[in-house]
Chain A
Amino acid sequence: MKVCARYFALYRERVGGNTESFDLPAAAAVGDLVAAIMRRHPNFCPDPSRVVVAVNRVYVDHAHALKDGDEAALIPPVSGGA
């Protein structure tokens, strides 16, 4: 199945792009996507087990099962407000 990864802020700069497509096995979870990102971009994150992910704009944990066509956003520590 195909999953679209979206990168923002610090992560966007580290991978050098806004979006990437990943071809993952049918039963893949969010943690598998993070592992695939780490293989493609070894400097993506020093502690990948703690990367925050939102699938289709909802925060999920790394055990969350992905579906074909999902949009998975990699969310660096947020700093909105003032």
Chain B
Amino acid sequence: MRIKITRDPLIAEPVIKSLVIKEHGAVTTFMGTVRLHNEGRTVDYLDYEAYPEMAEEQMRAIAEEVKKMPQVEDVSIVHRIGKLHVGETSLIVAVASKHRREGFNACLHAVERIKELVPIWKKEVWAEGAEWVRSKGA
């Protein structure tokens, strides 16, 4: 299990390699990336801010929760903060599970919980202005 908030660019391979391998047959990964268009605006960049101590604790609690789901063996969650440009990766979730279906379910559940609970905020900056984003359903 790797849980981390970082200002460095995210690379999937080390996050996948951080999973503890027992007898799983599937690694499911999700990478969240910065979109070019949001609500009709052309995004210049996103500025992510965290309450770092609490955010890591929440990410760890979510990973522990997901590890209790059926057939899930290990979970890693890494979130980048700071200034991210279009196409860059803000979030990587990796789940090791015995089979694919449980892996996809667990990965989706982890992402939904992250968007609901983890104290991280993004400010969307475009040519004419900037605005703090509110997650849909949060």
Spell out A's residues near B (CB within 8 Å).
6, 8-10, 54, 57, 59, 73, 75-82
Are A79 and B51 also in contact (CB < 8 A) when A8-B119, A54-B119 are?
no
B residues contacting A by CB (< 8 A) are 31-35, 48-51, 53-55, 57, 79, 90-91, 111, 114-123, 132-135, 138
Within the assembled complex, what's the spacing in Å between the Cα atoms of A25 and B90?
A: 42
Separation of A54 and B50 alpha carbons in the complex (Å)? 14
Alpha-carbon gap, A45 to B62, bound state (A):
29
Q: Do A54 and B138 touch across chains, with their CB atoms under 8 A apart?
A: no
Q: For the complex, what is the distance from the CA of A81 to the CA of B107, rounded to whole Å?
A: 13
A79 contacts B119, CB within 8 Å? no
Main secondary structure of the interface of A (DSSP, over half): loop
**Contact present for A82 and B91 (CB under 8 Å):** yes
Closest to A52 in B: B119
- Closest-by-CB residue of A relative to B134 is A77
Q: Report 6 cross-chain contacts, Cβ distance below 8 Å, ordered by A residue.
A: A76-B132, A77-B138, A78-B135, A80-B114, A81-B79, A82-B32
Residue contact A8 to B49, C-beta cutoff 8 Å = yes
Contact in complex: A80, B55 (CB < 8 Å): yes
In the bound complex, do residue B115 and residue A57 qualify as a contact, i.e. CB atoms below 8 Å apart? no
Give every chain B residue within 8 A of A77 (Cβ-Cβ). Answer: 134-135, 138
Is A78 in contact with B116, judged by CB distance below 8 angstroms? yes
- A80 vs B117: C-alpha distance in the bound complex, in angstroms? 9
